[in-house]
């Protein structure tokens, strides 16, 4: 009987394939476990520990900000905040309901707050309410076992004891934004951390912030703390000692009350800024509490622009204060001498156009010191006709215009000094000689900041020696003294005119202080053409006043103080800015001159 053999070839082939697949799967499993146990050991160990150990930051107190006489301008006060740890939440919706009732927050606001940081790891605490009242702290503390997902903490809260005083130079803190957390990981900021957003608080944030500590504690399965494992104490930030004089600062701000403008006071010997006033101001304490986007928009849309630091960000035509530059340029170029005279009849026709002096009857025959004293436009129109715009621009830049002073504050603007190249590049037009006539009296497309004018004045006061304006007292050796390329003898001739302006019945006589030898120059920035002004006055239309300038120094020899005042819509410089400067010179003299 023949034996019939079954063909098992197909079954054997399939079994081999199955074994190979199983072997590959087993290998993958082994590799996966090896990766978990060896490569990712630290990662999963930390995750496991995180279920048992929780870490919280201990915020470092910011350094103090003090004036030159140790008056505290920014300090810290204890405050309470409550944070949420999302990984400890079991029922998200129910937790929102209960927390909103506990903290007195709407569910919508609470949800927005949490969703804002949804990209962060769930074990990182999120600040959901700060600046808690004592009764709120008591309620949270009494019910802390019911809410293991929240953490009550004490934080050093920034406090500005004098409110608006010095706000633009001190700056303010604000919660670090989501964009900053995402785009600047090297900063190692925490969600909810308060950082400097303007002024010295921003410029010196790293120095002021110090180094945070941390606390590690054991929590149970419900997330409730049971024991503290370790604690690293925070290191407070370094203090900042400013060059600002608090008494003079308050005096200057009081003089600007109800006005828009700026006042800068410098020591021309060192570059110390004694006063930095910008008006209107704001209370930086408002920014310490975390507020909504709507509240922020209300502040930045204020028509008075209280956040604008006019000292370094306000751009204005310098008006007749620019005649200082014109006089120096004309003398050094040999266009005129100190005794060169021109006749002022109240107006002059140049390039077939009538250019008016501010004094309609005319000043008559004038030399340079008298032209500076009386701020005669016609005299300086003559200089503008004899100097080309590029020469004027070169002297303006030499005197610090059209460039940053490199003050130790963020946001400084460069201003604008026009030239033929500038107009060709940005306006694609040629420069016309008639435009130079307007620039000669500080009008046209010429823009400066109040700090630049104070720096220019310090150069004149120092007879050409440069200083570096600064707000923080330096522990370093002062830089070597350098000079601009102008002879002292030429600068002295301009100083003579500035002295007459204040002390000999000139336009700056409002700044006069008996025995203090104040030297200065007024300016009035024309906001509309003279023809438009006359038409508005005839038709009963609203006539906007000019911006009012004064910049000067005292005493004439061995100067100690530079004062620059800008009042927006203040009228003539001699009427508004000069008297304000005079009161500041008086306050300085009473305090420092023996």
According to DSSP, residue 36 is labeled I
- Beta-bridge partner residues of 217: 54, 228
DSSP string of 292-307? -HHHHHHHHT-TT-TT
Active site (annotated) includes residue 83: no
DSSP of 469-538: -BSB---SPPPPP-B-SS-HHHHHHHHHHHHHHHHTTSTTGGG--TTS--EEEEEEE-SS-HHHHHHHHH
Angle at 441 between CA 438 and CA 446, to 5 degrees: 65
Question: How many angstroms separate the CA atoms of 71 and 242, rounded?
Answer: 10
Contact 423, 444 (CB under 8 A): no
Task: Exactly one of 279, 320, 375, 524 is catalytic; name it.
Answer: 320
3-state secondary structure of 463: coil
The half-sphere exposure of 425 on its side-chain side, counting CA atoms within 13 A, is 5
Is 192 in contact with 173 (CB distance < 8 Å)?
Answer: no
For residue 420, give both structure tokens.
Answer: 């033929």
Residue 182 CA to residue 194 CA, distance in Å, equals: 16
Asked whether the beta carbons of 181 and 116 are under 8 A apart, the reply is no
Give me the active site residues, please: 320
């Amino acid at each position: 009987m023949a034996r019939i053999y079954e063909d098992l070839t197909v079954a054997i082939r399939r079994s081999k394939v199955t074994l190979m697949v199983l072997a590959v799967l087993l290998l993958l499993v082994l590799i996966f476990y090896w990766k978990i146990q060896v490569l990712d050991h630290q990662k999963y160990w930390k995750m496991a520990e995180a279920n048992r150990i929780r870490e919280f930051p201990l915020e470092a107190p910011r350094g103090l900000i003090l004036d030159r006489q140790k008056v505290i301008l920014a300090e810290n006060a204890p405050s309470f905040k409550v944070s949420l740890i999302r990984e400890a939440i079991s029922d998200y919706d129910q937790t929102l309901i209960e927390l909103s009732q506990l903290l007195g927050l709407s569910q919508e606001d609470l949800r927005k707050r949490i969703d804002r940081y949804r990209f962060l790891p769930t074990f990182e605490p999120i600040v959901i309410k700060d600046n808690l009242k004592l009764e709120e702290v008591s309620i949270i503390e009494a019910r802390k076992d019911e809410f293991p997902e929240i953490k009550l903490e004490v934080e050093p809260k920034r406090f500005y004891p004098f409110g608006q005083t010095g706000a633009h130079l001190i700056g303010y803190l604000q919660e670090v934004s989501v964009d900053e957390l995402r785009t600047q990981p090297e900063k190692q900021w925490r969600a909810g951390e308060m950082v400097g957003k303007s002024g010295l608080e921003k410029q010196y944030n790293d120095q002021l912030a110090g180094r945070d500590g941390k606390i590690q504690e054991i929590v149970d399965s419900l997330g409730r703390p049971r024991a503290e494992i370790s604690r690293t104490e925070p290191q407070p930030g370094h203090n900042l000692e400013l060059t600002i004089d608090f008494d003079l600062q308050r005096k200057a701000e009081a003089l600007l009350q109800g006005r828009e403008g700026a006042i800068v006071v410098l020591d021309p010997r060192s570059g110390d800024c004694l006063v930095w006033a910008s008006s209107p101001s704001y209370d930086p304490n408002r920014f310490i509490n975390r507020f909504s986007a709507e509240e922020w928009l209300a502040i930045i849309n204020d028509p008075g622009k209280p956040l604008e630091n006019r000292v370094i960000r306000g751009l204005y035509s310098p008006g007749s204060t620019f005649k200082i530059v014109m006089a120096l340029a004309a003398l050094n170029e040999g266009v005129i001498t100190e005794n060169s005279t021109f006749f002022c009849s109240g107006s002059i026709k140049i390039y077939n156009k009538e250019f008016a002096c501010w004094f309609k009857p005319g000043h008559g025959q004038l030399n340079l010191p008298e032209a500076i004293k009386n701020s005669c436009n016609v005299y300086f129109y003559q200089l503008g006709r004899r100097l080309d715009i590029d020469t004027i621009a070169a002297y303006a830049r030499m005197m610090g215009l059209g460039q940053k002073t490199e003050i130790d504050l963020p946001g400084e603007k460069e201003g604008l000094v026009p030239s033929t190249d500038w107009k060709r590049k940005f306006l694609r037009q040629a420069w016309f000689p008639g435009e130079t006539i307007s620039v000669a009296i500080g009008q046209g497309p010429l823009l400066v900041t109040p700090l630049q004018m104070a720096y220019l004045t310090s150069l004149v006061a120092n007879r050409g020696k440069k200083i570096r304006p600064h707000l923080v007292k330096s522990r370093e050796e002062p830089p070597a003294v350098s000079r601009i390329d102008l002879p002292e003898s030429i600068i002295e001739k301009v100083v003579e005119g500035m002295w007459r302006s204040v002390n000999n019945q000139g336009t700056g006589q409002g700044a006069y202080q008996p025995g203090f030898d104040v030297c200065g120059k007024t300016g009035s920035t024309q906001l509309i053409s003279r023809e438009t002004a006359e038409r508005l006055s005839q038709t009963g239309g609203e006539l906007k006043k000019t911006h009012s300038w004064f910049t000067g120094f005292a005493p004439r020899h061995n100067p100690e103080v530079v004062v620059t005042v800008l009042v927006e819509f203040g009228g003539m410089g001699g009427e508004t800015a000069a008297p304000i400067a005079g009161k500041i010179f008086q306050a300085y003299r009473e305090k420092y001159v023996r």
